[in-house]
Every structure is written in C-alpha cells, then in structure tokens.
Amino acid sequence: MAGPGGAGGLSGGLSGGLSGGARPKVAPSVDFDHSCSDSVEYLTLNFGPFETVHRWRRLPPCDEFVGARRSKHTVVAYKDAIYVFGGDNGKTMLNDLLRFDVKDCSWCRAFTTGTPPAPRYHHSAVVYGSSMFVFGGYTGDIYSNSNLKNKNDLFEYKFATGQWTEWKIEGRLPVARSAHGATVYSDKLWIFAGYDGNARLNDMWTIGLQDRDVTCWEEIEQSGEIPPSCCNFPVAVCRDKMFVFSGQSGAKITNNLFQFEFKDRVWTRIPTEHLLRGSPPPPQRRYGHTMVAFDRHLYVFGGAADNTLPNELHCYDVDFQTWEVIQPSPDSEVSNAEVPERAAAPEEVAPLPPEERGFKKSRDVFGLDFGVTTAKQPPPPASELPSGRLFHAAAVISDAMYIFGGTVDNNIRSGEMYRFQFSCYPKCTLHEDYGRLWESSQFSDLEFILGEKEERVRGHVAIVTARCKWLRNKIMQARDRLRQVNRDAARQGRGAGAGGPGPARRQAPLEVTIREAAAEPFAVLMQFLYTDKIKYPRKGHVQDVLLIMDVYKLALSFKLARLEQLCLQYIEASVDLQNVLSVCENADKLQLDQLKEHCLNFVVKESHFNQVIMMKEFERLSSSLIVEIVRRKQQPPARTHSDQQVDIGTSLVQDMKACLEGMGLDFCDITLLLDGHPRPAHKAILAARSSYFEAMFRSFMPEDGQVNISIGEMVPSQQAFESMLRYMYYGEVNMPPEDSLYLFAAPYYYGFYNNRLQAYCKQNLEMNVTVDNVLQILEAADKTQALDMKRHCLHIIVHQFTKVSKLPTLRALSQALLLDIIESLATHISDKQCAELGADI
C-alpha cells in the first residue's frame, strides 16, 4: 500500500540522554516535514534536555537589600527577565523596579533614569514592543493615611535605555482608577473596570501605543453580556479574545468567566451548564488572583476565596470550554526530588546543577489535554508548593509561568518567586473529527426516516450503534428485515446478478424508521452522538429552549443518560422570567416532570411570583396549570434531599473504546491486513480520523474489502498496530515505549489531523527506556531504522551489560543484533573492563 509520505523524515539526531522522572516531559516541537520522500532511510527523533511538566520550582527569593517583600505590585516579562514594579510592603507604597534573570536565577535592581511614576499599588503594567507601560493605581501615604487618591496617568519604561517617560495625553481621559484590568492587543492598551475611590466600574478604554504624539484615549462602546462593575480581577488574552474571571463586584463575588471579542466589541458569559455533574467545576469565586494565558489554556492561581487562600492551580481549556485542577508533579520540590531510576548512560546525562535544572529546554512544548483521561499523580508535599496568597503577580516566559510576591497568611508580604512548567500537547481532535464526519455525511451507510413527514437524516452505523443501545437495536432489526427480504428475493430468483463477480458496488444506506422523533431534535441528538456536545440555547430565544426540551424527551426515550443530564442542565440554566411559562407549559405537555417541577419552583419564588402572574402569558395558561401554581405558592412542598448518585452515562471516548474492544464487531465493514493477519474495522471511523483512509475510501474501495497495513516500508508489530487503532478510535495515547518507535511516523503517513500521537511517542520514548525494556526497544529501533535510538539503546546495553545479560529476552535477539551488541562492547570497553565484566557474569 503506497503511502503519502516516508517512514520518517524529521531532521536531527539523538542529541542527549534520557532524563529521569515519572511525569511527562516537555518535548521539542514536532512539525510535519512534507518535503520528505519515500527514500528517507531512517528515522530521527531529535531528543534534547527535558523538564517535567506541571512541576513547581521555588526559585531564589528577592533579598531585602535588593527590594522589599510586597503585594499589589505588577510583574511583566521581557526577553529572559521578569520586571517587578511598585506595590506595598505593608507600611509604604513602592515605586522601585526589580529585575529577575530567569537564566541565572538572580535578582537586581533594574537600571532607571528619568522620573518614575509615584509610589503606587493596584496599578497595571503591560509590555508593548521594547517598553513597559504603567497605568493608574492608588498613590499616597498609607502609613499616615494621607494624600490617598487614584491615578489615571500613563508612564513608559524603555527596557533598552532604562528611561522613564510620562505620556501627556490631550482630550478626554478615563476616570482615575485602581485594581483594574489591562492588556495589549492590536497595538493598543486596553483598560477595563476597576475602582475609582467611590464605586466599582465596568467601562472600557483604549489608547494606541505606536505614536504618543498623535494618540488619544477612546472609550469603547461595549455590548452583549457585559461583566458587572468589578475590581481586583485579572484579564488575559487568548485566541484573539480577552477573558475576565471573577473579582469583587460589590457584595457579590461571582466565579463567572467572560470573554470579550475585540473585533465586534461584544462580551459573552462563558456557560458552565455543559459541565456534567462529576466534571471538574470552575474555581471558587475569588478576588486578588492571577490569570495568565498559554497556548489554548488560561491558568488561574491564588486569590481570596470565601475567607480562604487556596493554592490549587486551575486551568481552563478555551477550545473545549472545560475547567481542570492541575495536579502538580511529584518532583515539584526545591531540591532533592526523588526521581525513579532510569537506564541512562552516565556520560550522556550528567545531572544539571540545581541552578540550571529546568531551564535548558527546547523552544516549544507540548502538554496534557484535559479531554483525555490521564493517571493522577499523588501531590508533592504541600510545603514545596507556593502557599495560598492574594495580590501576587504572574507572567509567562517561554513555556513557564513565574509567580512573585503577594500577601500570605497573617497579612505577611512575600518575596518568593515560583516557576511552573506548562504543558501543551497538541489537542485531541477526536470530537472534531467525528463532528466533521457527521456534518459532511460522507460514507454514511444509514438513513433514519423520521416522524409523520418521513424526513430523512443520514448517519453512520459504526458510531450510532456504539453510542446508543436503543438505536443499535433498531438498526439490527432493520438489518435483519433487509437480510430476510434479500434471502426471499434470492430464493425467488430476483436477487442473483446476471453476470459473474464484478466490481464492489456501494450499497444503499440502511433505512431505519422512527415515528416518534421529529427531524430537528433528532439531528441535535445525532450531533451529540458524534461530538458529546449540544449547542447551547441562545439567551432570550424561547424556541431554542423548546427545541432542547424535545431533545430531552428523545434522550429519555432512547435511554441516553449523558444527553439527558446535559439537556436538563441547559434548560434549567436557560429558564428566566421571559420564558418560564412557555417552558413550564411545554414540560407539562411532554410530561417532563423534573423540568416542570423546576419551573414551578422558579415561578413561586418571592422575587418572581408577582411579575409572572401579571404577564399576558399567564392568562393563557391552562386552568389546571394555573391551579397548580397557586397551590404551590400557598403550600410549598417540603424540600427533599436525595443522596442517590446521578447517572451521567458514558462518554464518546468510553463508547468508542467499547466499540473497538468488541461491541462494534457485528458492524465492521472493512478488514485491515497486518502481515496477512486480518483485523475487522469500520470505514467511517478510519476515514474520520485519517485523511489517508478518507482519500482511499472516497476514490476507490478494494474489491475484497481488505487493506494492507504498513507505515512506509515497515510493517508495525501487532501490539503497535493495536495501539494505533486505540488512538484512532478513541484518542488513547498510552502505549508501551517500543510501540512508540513503530508509530512515530504514523501521523505523517496516515494523515492524522495533528501530530498529537507523534508528540506522545517522543515523550514516551524519552521517559521510559529502562534496563528491562531496552532490548525490545532495540529490536523496534532496528526494524524501523531509527538509527539514533538504536545507538542509544546499544550505549545503555554496554554500560548496563551486567544487568542486561541476565534478561531472558537477550537470547531471543537476532544474530545481527547480537553481533551489534558484541561490536559495541568491543568498541567501548577496555580489556580490563572486559575481564571484570566476565568475572561478574
């Protein structure tokens, strides 16, 4: 089977040894090299030094003679340094500028000239070009409580010259403020909300930073779900949007996350109703916390949350709209981290000194994707993690977050600096790939005939039968009826073809009739089967909510517990004064008792009841429903608390795993041949996940329905092939390290939609070569012509030969590999060492 690319093609070699650690490592970038050809002779992996992902490190604190411990300050990152400005030390406000070099881990006072901003705290600082800009804040003498006032001045600090300059802006200015949010986007400084000394704000202003002689402040006309007036909150920019999380909003502190579209200047509250019970919830409401953006993630740390100072690190995935609490690596320690033994050659992996460890890394990183289950690691000792704090500051350099200062327990200011290693593997595209298959209807082999109007919706047998048992039974019944019809036709002589065997024909889709389902809600249900998601109802659109109610009714009928819970949460979150009567009436009509109960309780609330009964819609309700509302108001039912666990059903990943492991065997329609051994599979799934299979099945279909499997000129092992199928069916990336060598080139060869598998293969090899498996990896490296890994395995074997020689798998090696080992021993070991080795054996 000719492939679209070679068996490898990434330049570079094995440039370093394999470092220890039980956690995934930050790996060098892996880009597809589309210029490589089938003539590439061997595979190179280009390893380099690695840092454990999700690792906290405590760095040298700032000495008092350099700068005071502080809070309410700002930090910014420029090149390889962190700059700290302002804040307060508990007695006085500050306006010094400190510099922390992340390579040397050293502190100093930054060089400055000119007039700096007055001492202040709760100001903002951003970097644009080669300058830092400081805006606003609170100034005065906090010790004597005199001359305290907010500012709206703007200062520039040039990193190259150390020059401070105040920008004098003509025209209308933002009201003086502190504890606001600020960021840079599209050559402009953007200011949002804050506190003006009397009230909290939620206005937005922007100013161009390219030319101070012609620039001016502009107030932004915001629209959409604008956050309430607030202060002491962070902002971060990700995916060309600005995000605001929590903060102080008068007496009410919420844990809402809002996003602002710069282009349309529209705010949107990010819904959390799609998070099923049992999923990680958003962080607690808080203020005085930090939030930074890295890749597609937002990281929230610290702050004051309901009179506590939590120190968990929360992560929000912007693409998947899910929250996760990051589990710190077990070696998140200041020093003396316990690292599991690794079979590494001492000459090649000399340990880095403490001050360098963790800073010699590659330019790009990969990390964990929270849509895929990974093993939870036990947290390290709490004393080695940053303690809970508020009014600290954070910045990002390369692939790490740096946190400095803040107020810790007993109102003590901190001078500590911590470093957190990010992770960012290419995201899992499983849901997107299946969603794209649903939208295109390509390779559909199933057609549902729905309702009295007999509307038609296409689908794929493999996915629908894997996700829904009720529909699976319907499909099997329809298939059995069709087979019976064909058998009857064959007996009567109508089914036989006139000629002999010819080219394979595309069969007509299997028709399945479902009278109780209308096309529109059924299409939403189908979208859920493919993606595990449904579209959130638009705010204020009653028809959207009523549609989801119809979907909910189908979910109950089809026994889809996960979809049932999603719909229930969506509808309950969407009920408001404008639509509650319509939703209640529809719930009564559809006999959705749980939803009806929710609506009745909403209506009879003290703050709602009078408004609801004055509406025109109330007059049009059925008399029985009006009576029920009145009685509910007069005699509210006693509150009952149920400890019964809610069934949230199975996920797309769980269902596709079961499909691959045997549940989908009855619906296989393609046979994959691995070295002559057949493996039944599903065309639609292979096509959804691989552009290679998609192109093959679109252009032609093998007459016998069989496809030979290889990766370039190499046939993978049976074990590696099963690992690849697990990745294709449900996104699994855990595999034995020897499989990783076979599959390293598979993403390129088979045209997976990103290089996620490749990144995990590299990480797996880097962290898992041990004395126990080095011979298996040597065999795989030899078979795949991964010469750099083969050399590395031979090097390990030579230096650990006393242990390797006792492995039973040594005798099973081919003669050629045994000769390679003997040659390596002869090359690297002296006569004296050879004699000692013989004595040991």
What crossing angle do the helices spanning 815-828 and 774-784 adopt, rounded to 10°?
110
**Summary mean pLDDT of the chain:** 82
User: Between 19 and 571, where is the model more confident?
Assistant: 571
Its pTM stands at 0.71
Phi/psi of residue 461, nearest 5 degrees: -55, -45
Exposure string (b/e) for 164-178, b if CB count within 10 Å is 16 or more?
beeeebeeeebebbb
pLDDT of 180 above 90: yes
Local structure of 430: helix, strand or coil? helix
How confident is residue 544, by pLDDT bands cut at 50, 70 and 90? confident
3-state helix, strand, coil in the chain (%, to 5): 30, 25, 45
Give the residue range(s) of CATH 2.120.10.80 domains in the chain. Answer: 58-333+387-421
pLDDT greater than 60 at residue 365 = no
Q: Specify the pLDDT at position 349.
A: 29
Rounded to an integer, what distance in angstroms lies between the CA atom of residue 732 and that of residue 430? 10
What is the identity of the amino acid at 805?
S
What pLDDT does 835 receive? 63
Q: How high is the pLDDT of residue 32?
A: 34
- Rounded Cα distance between 10 and 128, Å, is 36
Q: Answer left, alpha or beta for residue 219, where phi above 0 means left and psi between -120 and 50 means alpha.
A: beta
Structure tokens at 677: 């051994």
Handedness of CA 769, 770, 776, 781 (dihedral sign): positive
The number of residues making up the chain comes to 841
For 802, list phi and psi in degrees, rounded to 5.
Answer: -55, -40
Domain 58-333+387-421 superfamily per CATH: Kelch-type beta propeller (2.120.10.80)
Taking 50 as the threshold, does the pLDDT of residue 809 lie above it?
yes
- Provide the pairing of β-strand 131-141 with 124-128: antiparallel
b/e for 498-529, b at 16 or more Cβ within 10 A?
A: eeeeeeeeeeebbebebeebbeebbbbbbbbb
The pLDDT value given to residue 725: 94
In this prediction, residues 352-379 reach a mean pLDDT of 32
Distance CA(634)–CA(712), nearest Å, equals 76
| Interval 227-265: pLDDT, tens | 999 999 999 999 999 999 998 886 666 788 999 999 999
Q: What does the alpha-carbon distance between residue 96 and residue 65 come to, in Å, rounded to a whole number?
A: 12
What's the 3-state SS for 141-206? Answer: ECCCCEEEEEEEEEEEEECCCCEEEEECCCCCCCCCEECCEEEEECCEEEEEEEECCCCEEEEEEE
Spatial separation of the C-alpha atoms in residues 505 and 219, rounded to whole Å: 65
CATH fourth-level superfamily of 668-768 = Potassium Channel Kv1.1; Chain A (3.30.710.10)
Alpha-helix runs per DSSP H in 249-384: none
| pLDDT value for 81 | 97
pLDDT at 49: 45
Structure tokens at 814: 């081919």
* 603-656 per-position pLDDT tens digit: 988 888 889 888 888 888 898 999 888 888 888 877 666 666 677 889 999 999
3-state SS, residue 367: strand
Residue 166: pLDDT band by 50, 70, 90 thresholds?
Answer: very high
Cβ–Cβ under 8 Å, residues 283 and 323: yes
Q: Indicate the pLDDT class of residue 222, thresholds 50, 70 and 90.
A: very high
pLDDT at position 539: 63
Which ranges in the chain are annotated with CATH 3.30.710.10? 668-768
- Say what the pLDDT of residue 366 is: 26
Q: Cα 10 to the chain's mean position, in Å? A: 26
Sorting pLDDT into bands at 50, 70 and 90, what band is 360?
A: very low
Residue 493 has what pLDDT? Answer: 73
Residue 71 is given by DSSP the state B
**CB-neighbour burial class of residue 7 (10 A; exposed 0-12, middle 13-18, buried 19+):** buried
pLDDT, tens digit, for every residue of 734-771?
A: 888 888 877 877 887 888 888 788 778 877 776 778 88
- The letter for the amino acid at 67 is G
Q: Interior CA angle at 833 toward 827 and 839, to 5°?
A: 125
Residue 520 has, within 13 A of its CA and on its CB side, a CA count of 9
Query: What was the pLDDT predicted at 23?
Result: 43
Average pLDDT over residues 360-369: 28
* Four-CA torsion 109, 110, 116, 118, nearest 10 degrees: -40
pLDDT tens digits along 654-702: 999 999 999 999 999 999 998 889 999 999 999 999 998 999 888 877 7
pLDDT at 806 > cutoff 70: yes
CB neighbour list of residue 807: distance below 8 Å, 6 or more residues apart:
771, 772, 775
Torsion of CA 483, 486, 488, 489, to 10 degrees: 180
What are the phi and psi torsion angles at 411 (to 5°)? 60, 30
Q: Is the pLDDT of residue 21 over 60?
A: no
Q: Which two tokens stand for residue 284?
A: 């607690």
Segment 484-516, tens digit of pLDDT: 988 888 888 755 443 333 334 457 899 999 999
Residue the block writes with tokens 């013989």: 838
Closest-CA residue to 544 (of 570, 509, 507):
570
Tokens of 420: 């957190």
Q: Is the pLDDT confidence value at 33 over 50?
A: no
- The tokens for 751 are 């045209």
The answer on pLDDT for 468 being more than 50 is: yes
CA distance 41 to 658: 38
SS3 326: strand
